[in-house]
Amino acid sequence: MKLWWWAAVLSAASMVPAIAAEPTAQRNDRGAWLIRDVTVIPADNDEVLAHRDVLVRDGRIAAISAHGKTRTPRDTAVIDGSGKFLIPGLVDAHVHIATEGALRDSKNPLLSGLDPGPDHVYDRRVLLSFLKAGVTGAANLGGGVQSDEDLLWLRDEIAAGRIVGPRLYVAKRINGPRAGVASPRPAEVPASKPAAPTTAADGIAAVRAAHERGYDFIKPYQFLNRETYRAVIDESRRLGMATSGHLPELGCGVCADRAFAFAHPMDNIAHSEELGRYGRESNLAPRDIDALADLVVDRKIGVTPTLITLKQIVHMYVQREVPPTPAGWDALVDPVTRLDWAPAGNNYLSDRFRNQEGADTFSAGYDFSRLLTRELWKRGVPLTVGTDAPLPGLAFGVSVHQEMIELREVGLSPLEVLRAASVNAHRLFDRQGGSGAVRSGERADLVLLNADPLADIRNVARIDGVFVQGRWLPAARIEAMLAESDQAMQALSQRIQTRQAEAARAQPAP
């Protein structure tokens, strides 16, 4: 690990006032900050380090020392950390980020080709929503071609310091045609191609193309047949690409069975619901919780439970409404997401969803997943925090807090929840990028809290400010940056309403 020789250039102790505002966040150079007299929660072990001074320089944690033992370099801004808590930046390990590319991909005539505004204002607002919640990393688990291209571009712009946002990890979703794993299998299945492979060769080609394009990891999806699924897993591993996705479909002649799926395991299962889907083989029998948990442990697989996702779906099924977002967050839901949540575009409120086979077991499936997640935790399975936002009711950023509460409620300690939301995600998606813990030499993706998250995990919402890629953004500055996009979002909302009105006028009279 590189040693940061900042001490060699320390000047004599000088009277440096605490800063009221950060240096310009958009600049390319990275400044230096000293967080003075803060409690550090590294999250990679059980330590809690009280009364520490933390020096951030050039995008890294340069040093952590006992309070008062460090001289302050003259070019260093000081942040008063007394009574505050420094934790690793949070990571949403399963999200589907709304982008301007997704608008270009959209098949919805209300959205297709819609002008979202200048200078990627729509993308920037979504990214700032993550930072408002202390989410400094986000793993996108697959989208359309244009959406993915937008995300790969945004990832690189963020890394270069030209756009402010969380560190992005972009997955390539690889999936076969649903008809290829239907039961009984139809007589005709679409010809295999890397974009929808039904052969091992095309599965391998899809992984290689993703690797060459610079995707960060692979998301295998459930409609891959047995041999194609195995080829995608094996080639991803050969190329050193992590895999996080869905378990393969069961029940057809070319489908995997449970033994095959776990004989060729992904690095991470993207939902506990996926294990619950396998649990339906036993009609969600309680004894199957132990059997599935043992398979996960034996194959050394991680799991992103996304319990809040299931909770929202059950709420919509039972209450026939979208659950409210946490206080203060509804106004940040962008107009495109709000349109998707509305009854007309919300599949979870449709009769088709309610009338599907097995719908009456949704609530039982949520209970099964909660108990299964608890058993995974008790067995030491590495869990990560994911949300599936923007599923209806789950806003970008704050939904991470909601999932953290879900994990706390199934038994994880607050420290274990923090670890799942930070260090564990870095081990999965960022194997070469450090541990994600608050340690000297690590990247400065950090959150400064005004209250102790170990006393109450809900205190992760009490954010004083965020370090993202080494830059300090006080909470008030993030709010101001979000407010700068309000006018553009209002204009976008108006354009959508205009299209809705035009579509309504085009409908034939009853």
- The pLDDT assigned to 29 comes to 45
- The pLDDT assigned to 185 comes to 66
CA 480 – CA 463 distance, rounded (Å): 15
Contact yes or no for 392/341 (Cβ under 8 A): yes
DSSP code of 442? S
Helix, strand, or coil (residue 230): helix
In degrees, to the nearest 5, what angle opens at C-alpha 20 toward C-alphas 14 and 25? 100
Give the closest residue to 371 by CA, choosing from 307, 457, 313.
307
- The pLDDT assigned to 22 comes to 38
- The pLDDT assigned to 73 comes to 81
CA atoms within 13 A on the CB side of 432: 5
Sign of the Cα torsion 427, 433, 436, 437 reads positive
Sign of the Cα torsion 427, 432, 433, 439 reads positive
- The pLDDT assigned to 186 comes to 63
CA 449 – CA 283 distance, rounded (Å): 44
pLDDT in tens, the chain (510 residues): 333 323 332 232 333 333 333 333 333 345 899 999 999 999 999 999 999 999 999 999 999 999 988 788 888 999 999 999 999 999 999 999 989 988 888 888 899 888 899 999 999 999 999 999 999 999 999 888 889 999 999 999 999 999 999 999 999 999 999 999 987 666 688 999 999 999 999 999 999 999 999 999 999 999 999 999 999 999 999 999 999 999 999 999 899 999 999 999 999 999 999 999 999 999 999 999 999 999 999 999 999 999 999 999 999 999 999 999 999 999 999 999 999 999 998 999 999 999 998 888 999 999 999 999 999 999 999 999 999 999 999 999 999 999 999 999 999 999 999 999 999 999 999 988 899 999 999 999 999 999 999 999 999 999 999 999 889 999 999 999 999 999 999 999 999 999 999 988 888 776
Task: Tell me the Cα Rg of the chain.
Answer: 23
Give the closest residue to 307 by CA, choosing from 265, 357, 349, 273.
273
- The pLDDT assigned to 113 comes to 84
Contact yes or no for 416/337 (Cβ under 8 A): no
CA atoms within 13 A on the CB side of 410: 26
- The pLDDT assigned to 10 comes to 29
Helix, strand, or coil (residue 55): strand
Amino acid identity of 348? Y
Contact yes or no for 206/232 (Cβ under 8 A): yes
Conformational region of residue 3, where left means phi above 0, alpha means psi within -120 to 50, and beta covers everything else: beta
For residue 326, what are the contacts with CB-CB under 8 A and spacing of at least 6?
395, 398, 401, 402, 461
pLDDT digits (tens, 9 = 90+) for 347-383: 999 999 999 988 889 999 999 999 999 999 999 999 9
- The pLDDT assigned to 7 comes to 33
In degrees, to the nearest 5, what angle opens at C-alpha 279 toward C-alphas 278 and 282? 120
